[in-house]
Structure 1
Amino acid sequence: MAEDEPQWWYNSRTGQTERGMLSNAIDRVGPFATEEEAKRAPEKLRENSQRWAAEEAADNDWGKH
């Protein structure tokens, strides 16, 4: 992707992808290199959230020993 090309974002309020920073920052997730990556944003956020929760639980269990 060229430096001056707009990147893709996922709008968490509307559920739509956007090319460039069109929405308010609070509603945008990204940037992504492609529209397809931006469309996967909700899935990626769920995966990250689950992974972080598991890591936090493991850290808490480790501290009990």
Structure 2
Amino acid sequence: MTEWWYNNKTGVVEEGPQSLGADRDGPYSSKEEATRAPQIAQERSRRWAADDAAGD
């Protein structure tokens, strides 16, 4: 199974881990999902912030 990664430094989607771990997000199961990595990260951050606010 191919894994896809999103390189935060270059904005490029990579097939397999090609760059430094600190520079990439993943793995994702598809190239399309990896392309959405910045949006996915924002959505997760919003959910975590909402969860934290609800727990206060």
TM-score with structure 1 setting the length: 0.82
Moved over 4 A (4+): none
**Greater length-normalized contact order (CA 8 Å, ≥ 6 residues apart):** 2
How many residues in Structure 1 have an aligned counterpart in Structure 2? Answer: 56
Segments of structure 2 that go 5 or more residues without pairing to the other structure are none
TM-score with structure 2 setting the length: 0.94
What is the root-mean-square deviation of aligned Cα atoms in Å? 0.8
Bigger CA radius of gyration: 1
1:55 aligns with 2:28: no
State the identity as a percent. 48
Q: Distance in 2 between matches of 1:28 and 1:14?
A: 9
1:43 aligns with 2:42: no
